[in-house]
Structure 1
Amino acid sequence: MTKNNSIGQSRSKDPVAVKIGKRIAQARKMAGFKTAKTFREKLPKWPENRLSWYEAGYSMPHPGHVEIIARATGTSTCWIMFGLGPIRSGERDLQAVRHQNLVFLYRQTETEGPKAIAEFLMASRFKAAQLADHIDNPFKHIGERLARNIEKASDRPVKWLDEQHIESDGLCGSFPDDLRELMTIYSEMNSKSRKMLIAMARTMSEHV
């Protein structure tokens, strides 16, 4: 055990892999698996440490592995890889979106210092312990009243917390505008439409 920990600590993390790893962990928790070990039982052919290393950000997940994780957790491959589009593969998960946006707002407030955090807590009618619980637990219910209070406290428009935002994910924010638009279009398509879009893109690339 000590040997494995020392290896993990000595290996640097890829910033992009860290972001993807956090989404993999969130997808796992949303699917009801409290630990990577229990979830790995759904992936019998995987090496013992692969999932843990993915979640920790030590390894960049292979696209095929991300697809396997997405299927097993009922989430979107596009969301796991890029943090964009509906979190659920079939429909938008409102609570998951609210949680992601709350975490983003809190991290943003943290950079402004203790006074800003105190003002956010007061305006949103949160107690510090309650906020910490919501940040750490993606299953913690964020109701309508609380969602609207959070938006008001952070000077965001009504229903902002209910929508997926590129700004909530630093990785997506670094992409060019046209690529983000294409990713958004792709994420909102069904399987048949996605295949058609890819086929069109391949045809166009052959004639460039």
Structure 2
Amino acid sequence: MEIAKTLGARIKQARLMAGLNTQAALLARIPEWKPSRLGNYEAGISQPGPDDVMRIARATDVSPCWLMFGHGPIRPNARDLQAIRHQNLVHVVEEREGRRGAVARLARALGMKRPDLLKHVENPFLPIEDDLARRFEKAIKVTEGWMDEQHIEHDPLCASFPEDLRELMMLYSSQPVEKRRKLLEVMRVLAE
């Protein structure tokens, strides 16, 4: 169930990054789905299969690999630095939530109040500028640039899939649209 929740959070993030503020707006791009289907995916009640992940990725213009595993470029052809920083911030804050006062101490180390830090967690579009990213890295004692990189080890969904499937998804998501079509054609021929 934890994997479905992690994937559901990425589905919601992809929807919001696409400027689709409601589930209904995304469903307008996937008209064959009932509202409960997307609602269950975003809530982590059920987990989409690869075909549904592909539909969501196309409808929100994100990489299917990132959507499925949380790894690789978020956009099919470019990195979305804000989304990566947000994902890392959310991971670190969630990791500290179980420890008494840890989130408040992190906020103080960043020179902000706890509610202001939580606003960044709740809003993937609230900018995490370079200055804040560097202060965050110092506060959690990681190397400079850590906030700008995706960290596969934090995503249980990615770890649950076989290595060859993860590699295939990475290869697929890093290709331009035309090469992706060709790769799918090759895979369909091999599947026959």
Work out whether the TM-score is over 0.5.
yes
Counterpart of 2:167, as a letter, is L
Match for residue 98 of structure 1 among 85, 100, 104: 85
2: CA distance, partners of 1:62 / 1:185: 17
Deviation at 1:195, TM superposition (A): 5.5
Match for residue 118 of structure 2 among 132, 146, 152: 132
Distance change (3 Å), C-alpha of 1:33 and 1:197: closer
**Structure 1 position 170 matched with structure 2 position 156:** yes
Structure 2 residue aligned with 1:119: 105
Q: TM-score, normalised by structure 2?
A: 0.84
Structure 2 residue aligned with 1:51: 38
**Structure 1 position 149 matched with structure 2 position 135:** yes
Match for residue 70 of structure 1 among 30, 51, 57: 57
Deviation at 1:168, TM superposition (A): 2.7
Structure 1 residue aligned with 2:3: 16
Deviation at 1:128, TM superposition (A): 1.2
Do the aligned partners of 1:85 and 1:184 also contact (CA within 8 Å) in 2? no
- The structure having more radius of gyration, on CA atoms, is 1
3-state DSSP class of the match of 1:49?
helix
Deviations 1:98-129 (A, max 9, x none): 00000011111223x23322321121122112
Do the aligned partners of 2:20 and 2:26 also contact (CA within 8 Å) in 1? yes
Distance change (3 Å), C-alpha of 1:130 and 1:198: farther
Counterpart of 1:123, as a letter, is A
Give the number of the structure with larger relative contact order, counting CA–CA contacts within 8 Å between residues 6 or more apart. 2
Deviations 1:29-75 (A, max 9, x none): 11111221222122222223211111112222132221111111110
Deviation at 1:77, TM superposition (A): 0.6
Do the aligned partners of 1:18 and 1:57 also contact (CA within 8 Å) in 2? yes
Counterpart of 1:189, as a letter, is S
| Structural RMSD (CA) | 2.7
Do the aligned partners of 1:124 and 1:146 also contact (CA within 8 Å) in 2? yes
2: CA distance, partners of 1:184 / 1:44: 26
Runs (5+) with no aligned partner, structure 2: none
* Percent identity of equivalent pairs: 45
Deviation at 1:179, TM superposition (A): 4.7
Do the aligned partners of 2:158 and 2:166 also contact (CA within 8 Å) in 1? no
Distance change (3 Å), C-alpha of 1:190 and 1:46: same
Q: Which moved more, 1:52-61 or 1:21-30?
A: 52-61
Q: State the 4+ residue runs in structure 1 displaced beyond 6 angstroms.
A: none
Runs (5+) with no aligned partner, structure 1: 1-13, 204-208
2: CA distance, partners of 1:182 / 1:69: 20
- Count residues in correspondence: 188
2: CA distance, partners of 1:170 / 1:141: 26
Do the aligned partners of 1:186 and 1:194 also contact (CA within 8 Å) in 2? no
Q: TM-score, normalised by structure 1?
A: 0.78
